[in-house]
Amino acid sequence: MNIVLLGAPGAGKGTQAQKLVEDFGFAHISTGDLLRAAVKAGTKLGVKAKSYMDEGKLVPDRLVVDLVTERLADDDTQKGFILDGFPRNTAQAVTLDSALSEMGRNLDAALLVDVKAEVIVKRLSSRRTCRDCGYTAPAGVDKCPACGGEMYQRDDDKPETIQKRLDVYENQTSPLVEYYRGKGLLKVVDGDRLVDDVYKDVKELLAL
């Protein structure tokens, strides 16, 4: 099954994606992870992307498209994939449709994890991330439970940056909801609940 995950930053898309990966073996393709890896490695793409990410802005389409299409060619995506954070606008969605068509593949669903803006600001501003492995935990956790690394607050998890990210999402990304609704692929789940409750509904919506 090939899935696009939709929802504002902090809606819980990554958490639901991970559960689907564990249970069904889909390849989880997170543009956030791909970009952060490029930034950490100091690649040409990473250096360009960092300036946008630090300001809470979206990375330009061309940079993201190149990363994602390359990733979709990997063997592990043949069992199915979950795109998390891409496409982020209708132009990217059209590009994705074209790329998949050339590969002889198609999308099965666009899953929207729906959460109110005020809930997201509270969630993200209290989140801390491991500098070494990327593990996330609530504020107050100073040492990473996974690898022992230092926990810190990412620049894009600070309240003022979060609001910028939500504004950008609303203006540029939310039209995707109507795009996929028009294609008959949209599935909507209420993400402001316990993770397992959300996941139960996700599986029902996707007929898994």
> Exactly one of 127, 158, 164, 193 is catalytic; which is it?
127
State the first-to-last Cα distance of the chain, in angstroms, to the nearest integer.
10
Q: For residue 196, what are the CA distances in angstroms to 45, 96, 203?
A: 36, 30, 11
Helix (H) or strand (E) holding 151: strand 151-152
Give the span between the Cα atoms of 67 and 48, in whole angstroms. Answer: 13
* 204 vs 208: CA distance, rounded Å: 6
* Residue 13 appears among annotated catalytic residues: yes
How far is C-alpha 181 from the chain's CA centre? 19
| Catalytic hit among 36, 50, 71, 165 | 165
DSSP classification of residue 149: P
Mark whether 88 is an active-site residue.
Answer: yes
User: Given 36, 88, 123, 187, which residue is catalytic?
Assistant: 88
H or E, element range at 186: strand 186-190
Let me know the angle formed at the C-alpha of 84 by 80 and 89, rounded to the nearest 5 degrees.
115
Contact in structure between 206 and 188 (CB atoms under 8 Å): no
Q: Is 62 a catalytic residue?
A: no
193 is catalytic: no
Strand 81-84, strand 127-130: pairing: unpaired
Given the residues 19, 154, 193, 203, the one annotated as active site: 154
Alpha carbon distance 13, 19 (integer Å)? 10
Q: Which residues are the active-site residues?
A: 13, 88, 127, 154, 165
